[in-house]
Structure 1
Amino acid sequence: MKKALSGILLILIMILTVSPVTSAADMQIQIDGVTLVSEVKPEIKNSRMMVPLRVISENLWATVNWSGSDVILKKRDLEVVITLNSNKAAVNGKPVLLDAKPYLKDNRTFVPLRFIAQAFDCNVMYTNAIATIKTKPFYIDGVKITAVHEEFQMTMGSIMAEIKGNAYIEEMYNILKQNKGAEVEAPGNLSPNYRFAEGYDRTIQVYFVSEKGDYVERFSFYSSILSIGESEDKRRILMYADTENKWYTFTSKAYHEILKLNSITSMYGFQTTISNSTP
């Protein structure tokens, strides 16, 4: 009788302690607390999570180039090289052995999540069906920045959006700082609320938000009003740096980089609307 009870107890313990198997379709990836939105799901190969290269590279804001079967990822002074169907990789020229080989499926390249994240100095944790990636926080003059707020000026009213994700926050700041042009005089007849200037329309205001919710830095963009028949290349863009109280020229190319960043953050779920005063 005791042997029978012991056997039943052992079976119950085994049933209770066996972890459920999670399918790839159920798995989620979170970056800096934001659940990644993607139509391409991660896969599990040899107990390793494999993710689409484009999804992970764009959300870490790394560029991707191909050289034969090699994939080259770059972000500032960091270069990661991986090879399709090979466990050999390199980080800044230093050889690394992978425990899961990158592969091509349905014209999409899948790479091991943990290796790519750690190569870009991110922490990775797994909890049940969630893979959590934490990137390096971004600071402005020693103040930790947790979000970017963008106010889009419409014909009537405005829309305020919030962008999360340290890589996106840092890239937004870099675009603004690195593409700041020559200092110029302020446009004439600027209204007190900075909404419109003579010959210019305000388009976007960008705020860098601290952990406490304070605006650490603010930038406003003004686009020149084109006459009927004027081509788009005649448009002039000015940037007002609020903390400096100075006006600068800003290139159209850099302005479109901001719009591209907005598009990507919206696509992957890193951008949310926090207010909308349009009719």
Structure 2
Amino acid sequence: MKKTIIALFGITLTAAALLPNQSYADNQPFVIQGKTVDGRTLVPVRYISAGLGADVKWNQQAKTVSVLQGDTHVILKVDSNKVLLNDKIITIDVPARNEKGVIYVPIRFIGQALGGTIAWNSSNRTADVSLGDKQVRVTTESTFNTSKIPQATLNTLIQKANEAADLSSIAQIRTHFKPYFTDSFINRLIQQRGLKIKAPFNEIAYSNSNDKVGQITQTSTTADKTAYAIERTIVLTYSKDRWLVDSIVFTTLFP
């Protein structure tokens, strides 16, 4: 059975462990943008996986995405409604789809497959996916825009994220990052002695935000020689009249 499954999907179950532990200031959920297709809500798999603390890996040749959460393995193939959930092949009603390089999957399936619970709010058209102390809020309305965070602020936070990659030259780490990072993220940086990916990201950044949370995303093909491309997502929170970095997530895009 194992050989059949590997042949069917063209991928092994070895997942890259590049996602750090995440926490969000003031218990704010990680907000992502979903979309409705044929009455089903679809979400970007790498963002909901990161928000729930799972590892995600994309196989460009096989057109499959692998999600690992504890003892749960999920493998989805683009444009196929056949899914491998642990050692069982099941059928989902809406297949994974690739739209401009973003892989979308059904929220109900991926949320429940990873052990999460889903709460729907029909009045504001959002869904909250919860798993332990992690929560992802999915909205299908255009509540995100790129104009909430000034460009100068984005540039500064990107610069500080690059500086956090290597702490060896920073004498007073907490003082240095206090105006830009949340206390919880500074604590994790000190414990981990910097970020897992040490190379700086100088690529074009894309950002979105609402009034309380935001993201800055950059993709690099040179940050890690073991992967074809690495995406860095800087998770932001708005606190005390300023934007602060609350987490930095690295995702392997093309292993």
Q: Report the TM-score when normalising by structure 1.
A: 0.43
The structure with the largest strand share of the pair is: 1
User: Could you say which structure has the larger radius of gyration?
Assistant: 1
Q: Report the TM-score when normalising by structure 2.
A: 0.46
